[in-house]
Structure 1
């Protein structure tokens, strides 16, 4: 269980949402999101490295394209994302996790439909199978994917933590509004530096023993 002052690291996982070349690297589908990223990849890298050093499982939720589907969904966003990601598929450059963020011990969970990694996927079931009860979210974007994932995970009984300087929305000021007025209602917000300090404290007794 997670509280502000204690962590069960063995039951914690970090889910990195769409930290892939097509969102934060080359051949991006939404240039405005990459342009607003700033030091986001650095902060995500910090969180993932810290997680691995403490034995916290890391999962990457990536979008691998619609695989030729003609009916992507009714959401207006698909009118833009659909054509921009038309050539995406498993193994193509835009769908690969940014190399600096990927480790051999990580798990990659792909999807081929929907606007969030929990929409009709096995992600939450996978986390439960691993005995995870606390989910830490990083990645993009706060506008939809991070928000929907946080709400869905909380609704399934997970404790949800969002690393506020390791997520981003567009425009950035709107992303901050979503964090404060929506995501805060379903998840705890923490800065990456504070998260690292909390995990170090949680790991200290085991190290001392």
Structure 2
């Protein structure tokens, strides 16, 4: 199948950033605090596809940003205004700053040129973080959103990015949530209204397409 020309234009490496959302060992790794979500990310192939996208971004010159959710051991600055946050405090694996739980999970490759965006609060890797300033300084116009979860952080990232004026591309097979059928329904009925929904293969084809010289 030939590459989608419009998508390829959106994915210009000079103005595109690839965002991985909470693809950290304590979330999608072997010792996850959320084993059902980790299993969904691996069994669906989403984690492997994210790794492929990151590797291709490195090869193509697309900037990669890894968004990590963590907390201080003393909990200072952490949100507690939702059931999700309070439940996280009781999980056997905690996403503590400096621990292995907040390292990018295998098999995702990490380059010295990647940026790691850490947050101590909230549901979104964009709202209330340095993300917007970093993306604008990088010349980003298109944000490719991948990762977990399709239940909370991914839709938050998509809506926040759209509200800030970025074009958002979502490779639907490179995100995961629970249950699996919820993820597909959320993509179809919600994210497709505000983002360009596509596949990992199409993104890879877009990055492989020769660019016009100016």
* TM-score, length of structure 1 as denominator length: 0.90
Q: In the TM superposition, what is the alpha-carbon distance from 1:68 to its structure 2 partner?
A: 2.0
Q: Does 1:144 align with 2:152?
A: yes
- 1:65, 1:85 within 8 Å by CA — same for their partners in 2? no
User: Which residue number in structure 2 is paired with residue 49 of structure 1?
Assistant: 55
Contact (CA 8 Å) 2:56, 2:204: kept in 1 or not?
A: yes
Note closer, same or farther for the CA distance 1:79–1:180 as it changes in structure 2 (3 Å cut). Answer: same
In the alignment, is residue 40 of structure 1 matched against residue 43 of structure 2?
A: no
Contact preservation (8 Å) 2:12, 2:207: no
Q: 1:79 aligns with which of 74, 79, 86?
A: 86
Deviation of 1:120 (Å): 1.2
Aligned to 1:13: 17
Distance in structure 2 (CA, Å) of the matches to 1:118 and 1:150: 9
- RMSD over aligned CA atoms reads 2.0
CA shift at 1:66, angstroms?
4.5
Match of 1:69 among 59, 63, 75: 75
Aligned residues: 205
Equivalent residue in structure 1 for 2:185, among 173, 177, 186:
177
- TM-superposed CA distance for 1:148, in Å, is 0.6
> Which of 113, 119, 124 is the aligned partner of 2:121?
113
- CA-to-aligned-CA distance 1:115-153 (integer Å, 9 cap, x gap): 221231111221011111110011001111010110000
Q: Structure 1: give runs of 5+ residues left out of the alignment.
A: none
Q: For the Cα contact (< 8 Å) 1:67–1:112, is it kept in 2? A: no
> Are the counterparts in 1 of residues 80 and 86 from structure 2 also a CA contact under 8 Å?
no
Extract unaligned runs of 5+ from structure 2.
none
Per mean C-alpha deviation after superposition, the further-off stretch among 111-120 and 13-22 is 111-120
1:3 is aligned to 6
The C-alpha deviation readout for 1:12-43, integer Å capped at 9, x for no partner, is: 00000011101110331211101212122210
The answer (yes or no) to whether the contact 2:88–2:94 under 8 Å persists in 1 is no
Shift of residue 67, structure 1, vs aligned partner: 4.2
